[in-house]
Structure 1
Amino acid sequence: MSFVFIRKRSKNYIVYLEYKDPESGKKKQKNMGSFEKKRDANKRLVELKDEIYNDDFLTPNKVTLKNHILEFLEKYKENLSITTYNNYLRICNKYIIPIIGSIKLEDLKPIHIQNYVDDLVGILSPQTIKIHINILNLALRRAYRLKLIRDNVVEYIEIPKSKKFKNKIYNQENMLKLLNISKNTELELPIVLAVGLGLRISEILGLTWDNIDFEEKHITINKITVRSNGKVILKSPKTDASIRTISAPLEIINLLREHKRKCIELKLRGIIKKDNNFIFFDNNGMPIAQDVLSRKFSRFLEKNNLDHIRFHDLRHSHVTLLINSKVPIKVISERVGHSNINTTLNIYSHVLKEMDKEASDKISESLFKLS
């Protein structure tokens, strides 16, 4: 089983052949030509693909895209989180399979994928369409490696460009107003945890009482909520960086302590019948779904004539407040569970640009307007 690809080395484009050594069974790569121009490298690539196709290409069968993509997802799901797998499967069943699933792999052309993508523009966001493309790319890349197709046709399509999205946030005044209006409501504690600690909605709903250290005033985030087969379950966060322990203000610790006291009281009165360790749970004592809390939050904003933002934007508001308060970026990155500092810098680049302008203005006032 062999395949070819192009890799840029310095100023040249090199065509490589990858194959399995029949003696050792190990994968090896061979330089099949170096070219100054990419079009020449592509020409060589096509020639080699034809040679591979003629020499050892498996005879195309009547497998449809539907059959192949479902088989691919089943075998690939161990590499995906439950949420991602379910999302991929939903996209396949709702969009890919009904629209182009009946096409045989051997008949699949770039125009089929391009038309599929073009039809989704205006219906779905560019970011969502890119998820569709990623699913197709992964599945067809596997088909190419298995020599079920001559080429991965996804490589030739034009991908819709994403518009830069600026998160809508609350400033300090709006956050204080929200905190005041939410007092003594069921949304007070989730809002306080998002605004005061910058927790994700899935992290808030995944908290259990053993995550709270009332003495040290620490909160450990090590679980999130996800939907799986119609049920809400707890699972580990996607990245190791998301598992963290952070200091919490005394006001938040006291609010959690009061909430726990009320839960114990309701349990003693028999109102809470299911014995669980969840901080937030539904009438059946089970974890709450993220979309349920999001909808409650939207209705709360509308009812109280507050500017509409997503619940997740409370996290962005929190980070922006920390940046404006001159908290070091590394500290912010670790507290909110970003994989690295670059993630924080990229997401909040617009805030940092504003601070850069502010720094310039201060230099101007300090050095050049004194004379």
Structure 2
Amino acid sequence: MSFAFIRKRSKNYIVYLEYKDKETGKKVQKNMGSFEKKRDASKKLNELKDSIFNDELTLPNTINVESFLVDFLEKYKINLSITTYNCYLRICKKYLIPLLGKYKLEELKPIHIQNYVDDLVGVLTPQTIKIHINILNLALKKAYRLRLIRENVVDCIEIPRVRKFKNNIYNKENMVNLLQICKGTPLELHIFLASGLGLRISEILGLTWDNINFSENTITIDKITVRNNGSVILKSPKTESSERTISAPNEIIILLKEHKKKQLEAKLRGEIKNSSNLLFFDKNEQPIAQDVMSKKFNRFLKENNLEHIRFHDLRHSHVTLLINSKVPIKVISERVGHSNINTTLNIYAHALKEMDSEASDKISETLFKLG
């Protein structure tokens, strides 16, 4: 397969054609013109690309969207987590293939994709529709690179605007009240881990006893729970930054020791085996699904007449409290497992804005109200 590119040499822009020599099998680069202005070189490049495309278009009448999507997803799943792959596969089978699968790749037009999006507006959320288009975009980008299509038609469509999600959080008073009410309940340790360490629900449910270092008062997060074909399994976190070891408050360590003691006593009585060494497990001693824990937490809030928040919002509340307590952003970012500081800054811009206003008030008091 041939391809063309521009390379700057001295003051000129040179368009090259690279192809494989049929006799030697080696790559050859051929100078296709030298230009003083980049726009002239770009024009020549586009002409050359059109020529290459027309000569090398592969099997234009035999590949339809359905067969290409299935093949693409099977090969691309190595880049996806189990949950994301299953989600993509479900979307392809339920929506993309039934509605777009019949079209041949080169026949797919922007209007087909736009109609697909418009038909789903009001049926699915903008966030979900965006996932559908992302799958299609990834697949068609590959089709374009393979010269199966002339353009990625996804680039031409409009998708519903995704409203920025506003996190509900508990303030310090509400958090303290929650921790008091949950004491002695089955959710006590879960709530303390989320509120006191900012752990995600999947991270809490993925903890095993070898993750707890009682001598150093630290907790290592190296597994999460995910659903896979109807069962719940343990797997590595999505990103390297999510794997981390953090120090834990003494109050949480004490709760963990009590929890471990109860498990050991239950083992000695022959009531449980816990061969997976999990902190939390269901009646079959299997990892607990995230949605199961979320439902339990929702019921707990209702039964105790507490303001509704998601379990994940305990993590947001935790981070907001750290920001308000003037803990450095870099420390917060590393503790909660964000890939970089910008992620923390973007998610918790509201709290930082309040701190900026507070800083303005303090400088005003310090410098301008001396008299």
**TM-score where L is the length of structure 1:** 0.89
Structure 1 contact 15–44 (Cα < 8 Å) conserved: no
Structure 1 CA distance for aligned equivalents of residues 354 and 91 of structure 2? 39
Contact 1:320 1:348 in 2 (8 A): yes
Shift of 1:294: 0.9
Where does 1:48-197 land on structure 2 (aligned, <5 Å)? 48-197=48-197
Equivalent position of 2:267 in the other structure = 267
Aligned twin of 2:325: 325
Structure 1 residue 64, shift from structure 2 partner: 2.1
Partner of 1:352: 352
C-alpha distance in 2 between matches for 1:301 and 1:18? 66
Residue deviations 1:276-320, cap 9 Å, x none? Answer: 300010000110011111111112112222111111111010000
Change in CA separation of 1:122 and 1:331 when aligned onto 2, cut-off 3 Å: same
Which range is displaced more, 15-24 or 196-205? 15-24
Contact 1:17 1:32 in 2 (8 A): no
Is the 2:6–2:16 Cα contact (8 Å) retained in structure 1? no
Question: Amino acid of the residue matched to residue 57 of structure 1?
Answer: L
The separation in 2 between residues aligned to 1:28 and 1:83, in whole angstroms, is: 46
Question: 2:304 maps to which residue?
Answer: 304
Does residue 253 (structure 1) correspond to residue 253 (structure 2)? The answer is yes
Q: Distance in 1 between matches of 2:241 and 2:32?
A: 39
Q: Does 1:221 align with 2:225?
A: no
> Post-superposition shift, 1:29?
11
Q: For 2:34 and 2:90, locate their aligned partners in 1 and report how far apart those are by CA, in whole Å.
A: 41
Among all aligned residue pairs of Structure 1 and Structure 2, give the percentage whose two residues are the same amino acid.
69
Describe the SS at the equivalent of 2:151. coil
Secondary structure, in 3 states, of the residue corresponding to 1:168?
Answer: coil
Distance 2:199 2:29 in 1: 44
Evaluate the alpha carbon distance shift between residue 356 and residue 109 of structure 1 in structure 2; reply closer, same or farther with a 3 A threshold. same
Gaps of 5+ in 1: none
Q: Which residue does the alignment assign to 1:364? A: 364
SS of structure 2 residue aligned to 1:114: helix
Q: Letter of the aligned partner of 1:105 in structure 2? A: L
Alpha-carbon shift at residue 273 of structure 1 (Å): 4.0
Call closer, same or farther: CA 1:31–1:69 in 2, change over 3 Å: farther
Q: 1:72 to 1:196 in 2, by over 3 A?
A: same
Q: In the TM superposition, what is the alpha-carbon distance from 1:47 to its structure 2 partner?
A: 4.6
Match of 1:206 in 2: 206
Residues 274 and 284 in structure 1, CA contact (< 8 A), matched pair in contact too: no
**Contact 1:203/1:225 (<8 A) preserved:** yes
Structure 1 residues 25 and 85: alpha-carbon distance in aligned structure 2, compared to 1, 3 A threshold: farther
Would you say the 8 A contact 1:64–1:103 is kept in 2? yes
Displacement after TM superposition at 1:179 (Å): 1.0
**Aligned Cα root-mean-square deviation (Å):** 2.8
> Post-superposition shift, 1:149?
1.9
Q: For each residue in 1:11-34, what CA deviation from the matched residue of structure 2 results, as whole angstroms up to 9, or x when unmatched?
A: xxx998885544544999989986
Contact 1:323 1:329 (8 Å CA) reproduced:
yes
CA distance in 1 between counterparts of 2:199 and 2:267 reads 27
**2:122 counterpart SS class:** coil
Tell me if structure 1 keeps the 8 A contact 2:202–2:226.
yes
Q: Distance in 2 between matches of 1:253 and 1:30?
A: 70
Secondary structure (helix, strand or coil) at the match of 1:227 reads strand
CA shift, 1:370, in A, is 2.7
Counterpart of 1:111, as a letter, is: I
Query: Aligned with 2:237: secondary structure?
Result: coil
For residue 68 of structure 1, give the secondary structure of its aligned residue in structure 2.
Answer: helix
Deviation (angstroms), 1:264? 1.2
Is the 8 Å Cα contact of residues 58 and 147 (structure 1) preserved in structure 2? yes
TM-score (norm 2): 0.89
Deviation at 1:89, TM superposition (A): 0.6
Counterparts in 2 of 1:215 and 1:27: CA distance versus 1, 3 Å: farther
Q: Which is further off, 58-67 or 75-84? A: 58-67
1:233 partner SS: strand
Task: Provide the C-alpha distance between the structure 2 equivalents of 1:99 and 1:66, rounded to a whole number of angstroms.
Answer: 10
For residues 172-218 of structure 1, the C-alpha deviation after alignment (integer angstroms, 9 at most, x for no partner) is 11111111111111111111000000001111011000000111111
Letter in structure 2 aligned against 1:213? N
Distance 1:19 1:144, change over 3 A: farther
Query: Between Structure 1 and Structure 2, how many residues are aligned?
Result: 363
Runs of at least 5 residues in structure 2 that lack an aligned partner in the other structure: none
CA contact (8 A) 1:69 1:139 kept: yes
Q: Hey, what's the Cα distance between the residues in 2 that align with 1:114 and 1:222?
A: 42
Q: Which residue of 2 aligns with 1:286?
A: 286
The answer to whether the 8 A contact 1:2-1:17 is kept is no
The one-letter amino acid paired with 1:296 is K
